[in-house]
């Protein structure tokens, strides 16, 4: 029980208990008139009441004796109107006797109904004898009053009608009391929060009173200012922070954020909170911190972002290879890592473009910064825009109240990797170009520019110059992105890498699942090496996982890795697969056996031997030896 009603009369008590039961109010009802109201109120407070409700003279007596505010139940306007309208005529002389709340209710009713009346206001019981003399001398036809005046007039033998409170006025008072209780609870919670902020925050904190003097300071504030608490309490704010702009904001009760100021040789960032609901209307909370600490905090936050997933886990040592083609590509990429220029990586699906992007990031000066990867093909344009650039609070329907930090901001002092850049819509390409030129971003729905220091690595499996010619890629953006370009060779051009990677994936998935797959034969590994692998390393990894799961596969299973462009047949014998691959390579090399042998990693006689096996169908390719 947190609210108590002191009901001056029985019918009010009964009606109040009925309302409380119907609406489940946290209210306890006591009955006491003006004579016993204060004592009953003290008992209610002892029982745990924090807010008191009463009516008329009883409310006044409680207020005077206990010195606390009372929620007052008003007399019912409807009851007053109904009685005066039905029981009086225009010539009736109506005496209104009671405390001010009753007078303020009944006099307008008499005015509206055009009745003659005289108000006899009571301030206390001792005044009643004098008021009664005036009332009797006026000779009223009808007397209306509150609980006290009804009791006192009856003692004089006069008939006085009680203007009761209605169910509606009770509910109005109860709602007001509940609202006050909620506000008190919020205020109490706010005071506790404010105290916790002042004492526990890592920032310095000052609480200024209405005269802009220090009312409270936390321990951190004393440390930053190099003073004791006793030296600060009661001191004028301008004596601590003499900055004119900050003092003007304090004087005008204007919130302020990230204001820079200097005291002697120490630089501070100052925030002012003047309009918070957690503090009194004329108070100001001043939060301040050393600039150097904020810089350290930013570094720490970015480290946590890295821990949350915005980091590059791969390096060039993660790239498994033995081929000369991949060695040359890695060597070129290492040199790129030492620069800060934008890079465009081109390669077929599954060749490891993001692997190279992460390795380049980790090889450069930005290695300790975040690495943020964005798949431009995964999201529609408007959603991709909000993810990349962020948005202000309430920027659009469904937006977070707090707004959202964009990926460019999260990548500050690091790298942002834009995968499938060719799939980005043209309108978004324009925003990206603007960001590349200015090194600034603006959140959707905001008007502030945010500086970002970001290196961009873009990747695509398409010919971007062809995309430019067809109007699907902005030419100016293409040249901005392709300052440095890197071509990732397909797996079929990496001699020796396929078998090496296959064995690596067998070991990886064997350890992952706790299985020991049968080791592949030399014939199987040779078939793996000769397979075209249209999906490149990704397709090879999937095939290796399948091999481990099924505890081995026949060589004929490799035929599923050859696209329909190679041939239309279903699973074929190994010889047919090899013959077909040799024939296709020979066609690609315009019938030149020497180049075909070099590309396949075998000698010329081996190529001729495989071609000789294809006796079922005459060769259709012009052979150049």
Give the model confidence (pLDDT) of 501-521 as tens digits.
Answer: 999 999 999 999 898 999 999
Tell me what pLDDT residue 458 has: 96
Q: Specify the CATH superfamily of domain 316-489.
A: P-loop containing nucleotide triphosphate hydrolases (3.40.50.300)
Average pLDDT, the chain: 85
Exposed, middle or buried: residue 119 (CB in 10 Å: 0-12, 13-18, 19+)? middle
Exposed, middle or buried: residue 247 (CB in 10 Å: 0-12, 13-18, 19+)? middle
For residue 18, pLDDT beyond 90 = yes
When the candidates are 3.40.50.10660, 3.30.70.1110, 1.10.1040.10, 3.40.50.1860, the CATH number that belongs to 77-164 is 3.40.50.10660
When the candidates are 1.50.10.20, 3.30.450.20, 3.40.50.720, 1.10.287.3510, the CATH number that belongs to 201-296 is 3.30.450.20
CA-nearest of 319, 343, 345 to 330 is 319
Per DSSP, the chain holds a count of helices (H) and strands (E) of: 26, 22
For residue 616, pLDDT beyond 80 = no
Assigned token pair, 225: 């200012």
- Cα separation, 583 vs 257, in Å, equals 72
Go through 356-367 and write b for each residue having 16 or more CB atoms within 10 A of its CB, e for each that does not: bbbbbbbbbebb
Answer yes or no: pTM beyond 0.75. no
- Cα separation, 357 vs 349, in Å, equals 15
Asked if residues 207 and 215 have their Cβ atoms less than 8 Å apart, the reply is yes
- Cα separation, 141 vs 88, in Å, equals 9
Tell me what pLDDT residue 196 has: 63
Q: Is there a common fold for 3-73+169-179 and 77-164?
A: yes
Characterize the bridge pairing of strands 343-346 and 454-460. Answer: parallel
User: By three-state DSSP, how is residue 213 classified?
Assistant: strand
**CATH code for residues 3-73+169-179:** 3.40.50.2300
Residue 213, beta-bridge partner list? 236
- Cα separation, 125 vs 37, in Å, equals 14
User: By three-state DSSP, how is residue 71 classified?
Assistant: strand
Q: For residues 217-221, give the mean pLDDT.
A: 87
- 36 C-beta neighbours (distance < 10 Å), count: 16
Per-residue pLDDT of 261-304, as tens digits, reads 888 888 888 888 875 544 555 778 888 888 777 666 665 555 55
> Which residues fall within 8 angstroms of residue 384, CB to CB, at 6 or more apart?
374, 376, 378, 424, 425, 428
Per-residue pLDDT of 115-125, as tens digits, reads 999 999 888 77
Go through 398-434 and write b for each residue having 16 or more CB atoms within 10 A of its CB, e for each that does not: ebeeebbebbbbbbbbbbbbbbbbbbbeeebbebbbe
Asked if residues 458 and 421 have their Cβ atoms less than 8 Å apart, the reply is yes
Asked if residues 272 and 286 have their Cβ atoms less than 8 Å apart, the reply is yes
Per-residue pLDDT of 149-183, as tens digits, reads 888 888 888 999 999 888 888 999 999 999 888 88
Q: What is the end-to-end Cα distance of the chain in Å, rounded?
A: 103
Tell me the backbone φ, ψ of residue 72, rounded to 5 degrees: -100, 130
Residue 259, beta-bridge partner list? 270
Kind plus residue range of the DSSP H or E element containing 539: helix 536-549
For residue 610, pLDDT beyond 80 = no
For residue 615, pLDDT beyond 50 = no
Give percent of the chain above pLDDT 90. 42
Per-residue pLDDT of 301-328, as tens digits, reads 555 555 555 778 899 999 999 999 999 9
- Cα separation, 614 vs 307, in Å, equals 57
For the chain, the structural domain boundaries read 3-73+169-179, 77-164, 201-296, 316-489, 493-613
Cα three-residue angle 130-135-136, rounded to 5 degrees: 100
- Cα separation, 425 vs 30, in Å, equals 72
Assigned token pair, 385: 């825009």
User: By three-state DSSP, how is residue 75 classified?
Assistant: coil
């Amino acid at each position: 029980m947190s609210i108590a009603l002191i009901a001056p009369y029985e019918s009010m008590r009964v009606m109040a208990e009925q309302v409380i039961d119907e609406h489940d109010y946290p209210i306890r009802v006591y009955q006491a008139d003006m004579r016993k109201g204060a004592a009953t109120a003290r008992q209610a407070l002892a029982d745990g009441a924090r807010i008191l409700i009463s009516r008329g003279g009883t409310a006044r007596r409680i207020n005077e004796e206990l010195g606390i505010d009372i929620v007052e139940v008003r007399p019912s306007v409807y009851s007053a109107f109904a009685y005066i309208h039905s029981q009086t005529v225009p010539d009736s002389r109506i005496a209104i006797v009671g405390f001010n709340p009753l007078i303020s209710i009944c006099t307008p009713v008499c005015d509206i109904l055009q009745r003659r009346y005289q108000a006899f206001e009571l301030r206390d019981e001792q005044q009643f004898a004098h008021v009664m003399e005036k009332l009797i001398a006026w000779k009223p036809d009808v007397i209306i009053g509150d609980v006290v005046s009804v009791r006192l007039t009856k003692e004089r033998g006069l008939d006085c009608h009680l203007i009761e409170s209605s169910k509606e006025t009770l509910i109005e008072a109860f709602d007001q009391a509940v609202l006050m209780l909620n506000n008190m609870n919020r205020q109490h919670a706010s005071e506790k929060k404010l105290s916790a902020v002042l004492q526990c925050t890592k920032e310095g904190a000052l609480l200024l009173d209405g005269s802009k003097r220090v009312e409270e300071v936390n321990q951190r504030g004393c440390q930053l200012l190099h003073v004791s608490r006793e030296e600060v309490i009661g001191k004028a704010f301008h004596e601590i922070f003499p900055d004119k702009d900050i003092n003007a904001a304090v004087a005008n009760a204007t919130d302020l954020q990230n204001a820079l100021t200097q005291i002697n040789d120490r630089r501070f960032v100052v925030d002012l909170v003047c309009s918070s609901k957690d503090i009194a209307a004329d108070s100001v909370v001043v939060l301040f911190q050393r600039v150097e600490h904020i810089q350290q905090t930013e570094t720490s936050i970015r480290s946590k972002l890295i821990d949350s997933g915005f980091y590059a886990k791969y390096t060039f040592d993660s790239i498994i290879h033995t081929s000369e083609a991949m060695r040359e590509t890695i060597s070129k990429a290492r040199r790129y890592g030492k620069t800060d220029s934008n890079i465009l990586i081109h390669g077929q699906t599954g060749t490891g473009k993001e692997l190279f992007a992460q390795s380049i990031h980790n090889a450069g000066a930005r290695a300790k910064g975040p690495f943020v990867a964005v798949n431009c093909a995964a999201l529609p344009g408007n959603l991709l825009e909000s993810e990349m650039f962020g948005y202000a609070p309430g920027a659009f329907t469904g937006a977070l109240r707090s707004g959202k930090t964009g990926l460019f901001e999260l990548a500050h002092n690091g790298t942002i990797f834009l995968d499938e850049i060719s799939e980005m819509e043209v309108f978004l390409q324009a925003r990206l170009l603007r960001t590349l030129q200015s090194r600034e971003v603006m959140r959707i729905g905001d008007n502030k520019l945010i500086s970002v220091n970001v290196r961009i690595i873009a990747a695509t499996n398409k010919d971007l110059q062809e995309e430019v010619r067809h109007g699907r890629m902005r030419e100016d953006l293409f040249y901005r992105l392709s300052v440095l370009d890197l071509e990732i060779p397909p797996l079929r051009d990496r001699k020796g890498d396929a078998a090496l990677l296959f064995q690596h994936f067998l070991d990886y998935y064997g350890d992952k699942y706790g299985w020991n797959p049968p080791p592949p034969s030399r014939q199987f590994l040779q078939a793996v090496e000769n397979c075209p692998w249209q999906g490149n390393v990704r397709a090879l990894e999937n095939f290796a996982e399948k091999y481990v799961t099924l505890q081995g596969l026949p060589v004929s299973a490799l035929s599923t890795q050859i696209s329909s462009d190679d041939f239309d047949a279903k699973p074929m014998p190994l010889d047919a697969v090899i013959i077909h691959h040799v024939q296709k390579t020979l066609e690609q090399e315009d019938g030149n056996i020497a180049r075909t042998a070099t590309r396949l990693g075998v000698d010329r006689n081996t190529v001729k031997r495989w071609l000789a096996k294809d006796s079922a169908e005459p060769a259709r390719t012009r052979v150049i030896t």
